[in-house]
Structure 1
Amino acid sequence: MSSRQRPRASSEAPRTNAPPRSPGPTGLAAPPNPARIPVYVALAVLGAVVGLAGTLVQAALFPGGLLLALAASAGLFHAGRVLTGTQLGALAPAVGWFIAVVLLLGGRPEGDYVFGQELGLALFMLGGMAVAVMCATMSRLPYPANGTGRTGR
């Protein structure tokens, strides 16, 4: 062994003289990022538009239209989650979607409403809410740490 050996790092000695910090709040407890607020508002408006379009499509073309409307909703909720990287990114379009669909449920004073049949209404409402919950509660998205685009290494 040479006389100029490096001392081994021990887990007992800190590497810096900085005092340990407690981790900050994360998730919905973290303070909102002001730069993301316009993104969340835009996602909520897009959710309302998709809810309106889905309502019209599922009532007009029942079996295929319902699947198309739910696929569009799922795509928007998942895109919001991926775009922002937060659960709120999936919840913002879901809130806009839900408000638009509930407002369309009110109907008109004449007694007609937008939804064509009760089965389509139930499947659209329950399916859309289930997709929103799935997108909001899915685990974190897998991003590679080294930036090569390859996972697992």
Structure 2
Amino acid sequence: MSTTASPASQGARFTWYAVLVVLGALVGAAGSLVQAAWFPGGLLLALLGAAGLFYGGLRATGTQAGVFTAGVGWLLAVILLSNTRPEGDRVFTGDGSELLYLFGGMAIAVMCATLFRLPRTPL
């Protein structure tokens, strides 16, 4: 038996990575809007959504790279939404809840990336 993955399973894994980057961007954007609107419940909801995404990325791919790719999409969305537009509009208002969201999301990503990997069952 060979320990290398077949090209079909590698292609599926790379598809998962692309999907996780997009999902990370969507969860990051939605969390950025929700955490400021309904503080403190919105912050908790946004962090729970990020935790679900990161852990789901770990489970879907079976590697820490799934958490990393989801985290990259999430972080890009959060950073892009924190920039001020030329008109002066911005999603983040600059108070402490945004920092809790940013650092809390990064801490959750690190926790999910360092979790032990459960054995994958063959389909």
Instruction: State the TM-score, normalized to the length of structure 2.
Output: 0.85
**Does the aligned pair in 2 maintain the 1:59–1:117 contact within 8 Å?**
no
Equivalent pairs, count: 115
Q: Distance in 2 between matches of 1:138 and 1:111?
A: 41
2:14 paired residue number: 37
SS of 2:63's equivalent in the other structure is coil
Q: Does 1:51 align with 2:23?
A: no
The sequence identity of aligned pairs, in percent, is 56
Q: Distance in 2 between matches of 1:82 and 1:143?
A: 9
Check conservation: 1:43, 1:93, Cα contact below 8 A.
yes
**How far has the Cα of 1:139 moved from its partner?**
1.4
Secondary structure of the corresponding residue to residue 33 of structure 1: helix
Match for residue 72 of structure 1 among 46, 49, 63: 49
Contact 1:48–1:100 (CA under 8 A) maintained in structure 2:
yes
How many Å apart are 1:143 and its aligned residue? 6.0
Where does structure 2 lack aligned partners over 5 or more consecutive residues?
none
Shift of the alpha carbon at 1:33? 2.5
Q: Which structure: greater helix fraction?
A: 2
The alpha-carbon distance between structure 1 residues 33 and 143, as it changes in their structure 2 partners (threshold 3 A), is: closer
| Structure 1 length-normalised TM | 0.69
Structure 1, unaligned runs of 5 or more: 1-23, 26-31, 145-153
Task: State the distance in 1 between where 2:78 and 2:10 align.
Answer: 29
Which one scores higher on RCO, CA 8 angstroms, separation ≥ 6?
2
Using the alignment, how far apart are the partners of 2:89 and 2:99 within structure 1?
Answer: 17
Larger radius of gyration: 1
Aligned to 1:140: 117
* Equivalence for 1:11: none
